[in-house]
């Protein structure tokens, strides 16, 4: 290596080319302070001019021993706040998955009111998460206005969450066997109002961003993830469906009461570029918000007015000795919890299968040949949350 070496730039050994010219590759760090890496992610890029020849993600900057913390808790309910902090922009979905795992382990049956409220909250959280993903994705590429539109709508969902749980980001609302408390009296009115006003906003978003000429040029045919590569890497969620794979746990391995609702599984179709490119992953999230609205409407219509949200919560949570793996469909893909119980009041082992961690692993495979500027679009289209990647 040459001696010219700084903290962010390294020049590799010169390469003798056929015409006698000597060129050299350059290694630069993208992140961990770069805003488009969406957290403390560092990507080590090897460049030939502006072309990426190698991309290596370096993680661990946000690691805080999630699994060990869970195992150190002296009671299972104390795990829920730590679960919230994995994918901190989809905390309701994290809680839902862990609660389901424990309820399966303890064979707890829930009443219909609890199940309906959980599904409504989970789908509202999916929309809020996708709004964040779509808004910041546009911002990464230079579109500022859609970001404001998305956050304006997201605030309405957070208002609903705040009324129910008292929090706007980390809720501790879905408990093992029930809910923290029942929803407010005007819950149905608030949610119905949001559904009614939000549906036209999706069209506005499409007009502003989805079909914008500059946005199309920056995302079509960029970061193409073929179907076979996606499956081999274990990709899930919108990143998998963007490659044309029709797989959604809510339909293909139903949990809670999702089997009662009618909705479509949205997939990428290569409409403006190559199937599995950044635009396909983006548009899947936009269209999934419409499907979440369908589920919410059906759940509101069939939700019972009667039912105690505390009736199935055990006085002491002490599951029988055994193990369980349970998975749910979060905004980023398959979130799985593997829990081992030794018959005590705290878990012997907790393992989380985080979709962001798995989805990020495909970055080196779809980045080779891209421009430096394309890396911003590729990372944004995967939609990672570093709290879930590092845990």
Q: What tokens appear for 181 in the block? A: 């408390």
Q: What tokens appear for 143 in the block? A: 């579109």
Average pLDDT over residues 89-118: 95
pLDDT digits (tens, 9 = 90+) for 111-127: 999 999 999 999 999 99
Instruction: Give pLDDT, residue 4.
Output: 43
Q: Is pLDDT of 131 > 60?
A: yes
Instruction: With cut-offs at 50, 70 and 90, classify the pLDDT of residue 328.
Output: very high
Q: Is pLDDT of 229 > 50?
A: yes
pLDDT digits (tens, 9 = 90+) for 29-50: 997 888 888 889 999 999 998 9
Show the domains of the chain with their CATH numbers. 9-58 (no CATH), 74-363 (1.10.645.10)
Instruction: Give pLDDT, residue 16.
Output: 54
Average pLDDT over residues 155-164: 95
| Residues 6 or more apart whose Cβ sits within 8 Å of residue 140 | 35, 36, 376, 377, 379, 380
Instruction: Give pLDDT, residue 12.
Output: 53
Q: Are 43 and 363 in contact (CB under 8 A)?
A: yes
pLDDT digits (tens, 9 = 90+) for 66-82: 999 999 998 999 999 99
Instruction: With cut-offs at 50, 70 and 90, classify the pLDDT of residue 388.
Output: very high
């Amino acid at each position: 290596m040459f001696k010219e070496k700084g903290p962010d730039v390294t020049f590799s050994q010169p390469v003798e080319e056929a015409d006698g010219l000597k060129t050299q590759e350059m290694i630069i760090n993208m992140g961990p302070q770069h805003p488009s890496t969406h957290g403390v992610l560092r990507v080590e890029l090897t460049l030939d001019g502006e072309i990426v020849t190698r991309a290596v993600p370096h993680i661990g900057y946000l690691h805080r021993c999630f699994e060990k913390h869970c195992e150190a808790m002296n009671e299972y309910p104390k795990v829920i706040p730590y679960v919230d902090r994995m994918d901190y922009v989809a905390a309701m979905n994290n809680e839902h998955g862990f609660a389901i795992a424990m309820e399966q382990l303890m064979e707890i049956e829930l009443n219909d009111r609890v199940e309906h409220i959980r599904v409504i909250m989970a789908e509202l959280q999916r929309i809020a998460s996708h709004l964040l993903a779509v808004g910041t994705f546009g911002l990464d590429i230079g579109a500022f206005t859609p970001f404001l539109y998305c956050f304006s709508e997201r605030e309405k969902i957070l208002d609903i969450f705040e009324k129910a749980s008292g929090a706007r980001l980390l809720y501790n609302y879905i408990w093992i066997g029930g809910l923290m408390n029942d929803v407010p009296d005007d819950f149905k009115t608030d949610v119905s109002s949001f559904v009614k006003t939000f549906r036209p906003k999706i069209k506005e978003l499409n007009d502003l961003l989805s079909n914008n000429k500059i946005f199309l040029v920056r995302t079509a045919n960029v970061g193409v993830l073929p179907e076979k590569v996606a499956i081999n890497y274990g990709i899930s969620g919108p990143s998998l469906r963007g490659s044309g794979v029709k797989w959604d746990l809510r339909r293909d391995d139903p949990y809670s009461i999702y089997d009662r609702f009618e909705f479509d599984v949205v997939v990428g179709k290569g409409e403006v570029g190559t199937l599995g490119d950044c635009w396909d992953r983006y548009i899947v999230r936009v269209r999934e918000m419409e499907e979440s609205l369908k589920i919410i409407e059906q759940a509101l219509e069939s939700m019972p007015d009667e039912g105690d949200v505390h009736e199935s919560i055990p006085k002491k949570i002490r599951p029988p000795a055994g193990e369980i793996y349970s998975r749910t469909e979060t905004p980023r893909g398959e979130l799985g919890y593997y829990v081992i119980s030794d018959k005590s009041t705290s878990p012997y082992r907790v393992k989380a299968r985080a979709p962001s961690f798995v989805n990020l692993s495909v970055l080196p495979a779809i980045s080779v040949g891209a421009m430096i500027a394309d890396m911003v679009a590729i990372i944004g289209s995967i939609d990672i949350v570093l709290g879930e990647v590092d845990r």
